Structure 1
Amino acid sequence: MTAETPKHVVFDIGRVLIHYDPHLGLEEVIPDEAERRFFLAEVCTHEWNLEQDRGRPWAEAEAEAIARHPDRADQIRSFRRNWSKMVPHAYDDSVGLMLGLIEAGVDVTMLTNFAPDTFVEARAKFPFLDRPRGVTVSGEVREIKPDRAIYDLHVERFGLDPSASLFIDDSQKNVDGARAAGWQAVLFVSPGQLARDLSERGLPVAAG
């Protein structure tokens, strides 16, 4: 084993349990790939979307972007309107690992950067998100990864021991943030690697 066996496992959601790709929600609105890449790099950027994960209302976000690019108002509004197309499916193997931990009696929670309303949609679309003991949603608590405050808040809300908590995230910054908060953490790159990471820490890995 490479570390103390964790008592708690905390999953990120986007690109760990469910697929997320903003291009998928914009293909019909902006068919040209180069134009779509420009739109996501300069108009509805990752940083712009992150403010919704921090709790900014969509109406305010759209107004801000439209003020910068008034000729793209419909494209900007389509980002939220077509959000469900951006999360087309779950990563079944990752979900299987998470459910296997739960069924084996391991304490599992989730910590995610997500807007409150889109998380409601995700929960309805992917019922397995109700299986862990609970979730901290950045947009609801108005704190965001990788800031220290959200890790400490999650610990407090769910009564975790940070040193006995294993965090799984697809962002190295978020993994580093968890480690800085005293957690164990691994970078998610594939379900296969996650299974090895869990096994190395003495955690049960579901067959299949």
Structure 2
Amino acid sequence: MRIVFDFGGVVFRWHPASFLARVWPHRVGSLEQGVEVAAQFFQNYEGDWGLFDQGLIGADEVVRRIAARTGWPQGEVAAVVRAVPDELMPVPATVVLIRDLLAAGHTLHYLSNMPEPYADHLSASYPLTEWFTSGLFSGRIKQSKPHAEIYQMAERHFGGDPQDLLFLDDHPANIAAALARDWQAVLFTDATSVRRELVSRRLLNG
């Protein structure tokens, strides 16, 4: 089985509300506020941030656009953009899951919406080539989930039939797009729940 991992919120820590509460304590005093501010800042990974994800604009331009759109000072917006790499720390339970899947003989790939500067950081900082046979970052290929084009590119890149790909992602829209391409898919909530699902599919021993 070829198992395909999303990165943010799956392999690497990504919880925008708590992230913004740490980086912008003067603007975000609670997780509830963090959810509201994150919706403005990241636009559900569409808009300005979606272009950044796809590698169509760079960090300086996304800062300029977010500041112009929201009225937040450019320096504060830039501080958030700079802080993202430090937020993207490996999730220990997912790393254990990756190692167990490799030990069970599965081939692992990744398919991640990730701006190019952050993709470069992850590639340089963590053993991606040990964990994964291959992968695609949206910022490098100028396509992003949940658009069908990135799944088509992934099928060609990973090889095999779509039915032999099992996708783990924490966004329902990305899961739905994978299922529409005849992939198998599991919505990731936490590594423990996904492990139980993989055991039930006889992809891991209980």
- TM-score, normalised via structure 2 length: 0.85
Aligned length, in residue pairs: 199
Structure 1: runs of 5 or more not aligned:
1-6
Q: 1:33 aligns with which of 28, 31, 34?
A: 28
Aligned to 1:77: 78
Q: Counterpart of 2:4 in 1: which secondary structure?
A: strand
- C-alpha RMSD of matched pairs (Å): 2.2
Corresponding residue for residue 59 of structure 2: 58
2:14 corresponds, among 15, 20, 28, to 20
Percent identity, aligned pairs only? Answer: 25
Shift of 1:202: 1.7
Per-residue CA shift, 1:94-128, capped at 9, x if unaligned?
Answer: 11111221222211111111111101112333325
Highest RCO, 1 vs 2 (Cα 8 Å, sep ≥ 6): 1
The answer (yes or no) to whether the contact 2:162–2:182 under 8 Å persists in 1 is yes
Residue 39 of structure 1 and its aligned partner are, at CA, apart by 4.0
Q: 1:124 maps to what in 2?
A: 124
How has the CA–CA distance of structure 1 residues 192 and 37 changed in structure 2, closer, same or farther, with 3 Å as cutoff? closer
Verify the 8 A CA contact 1:143 1:149 in the aligned structure 2: yes
Distance change >3 Å, CA 175–CA 71, structure 1 → 2: closer
Asked if the contact 1:25/1:86 (under 8 Å) is kept, the reply is: no
Write out per-residue CA displacement over residues 22-70 of structure 1, whole angstroms, 9 at most, x where no aligned residue.
4436635443424765543334543332321111211221222233345
Say if 1:25 and 1:85, in contact at 8 Å, map to a contact too. Answer: no
The answer to whether the 8 A contact 2:170-2:189 is kept is: yes
Cross-structure match for 1:198: 198
Instruction: Give the SS at the match of 2:139.
Output: helix
* Equivalent position of 2:161 in the other structure: 161
Give 1:36-185 correspondences, 5 Å limit.
39-46=37-44, 47=46, 48-55=48-55, 56-69=57-70, 72-87=73-88, 89-128=89-128, 130-185=130-185
Q: Which amino acid aligns with 2:64?
A: A
Task: Please give the TM-score of this superposition, normalised by the length of structure 1.
Answer: 0.84
Distance 1:108 1:166, change over 3 A: same
3-state SS, counterpart of residue 166 of structure 1: strand
Question: In the TM superposition, what whole-angstrom CA distance separates every residue of 1:8-28 from its partner, at most 9, and x where no partner exists?
Answer: 111111111111134436635
Q: Aligned-pair distance for 1:75?
A: 1.0
Please list every run of 5 or more consecutive structure 2 residues that lacks an aligned counterpart in the other structure: none
The one-letter code sitting in structure 2 at the alignment partner of 1:112 is S
The letter of the residue matching 2:4 is V
Give, in angstroms, the shift of residue 193 of structure 1.
Answer: 1.3
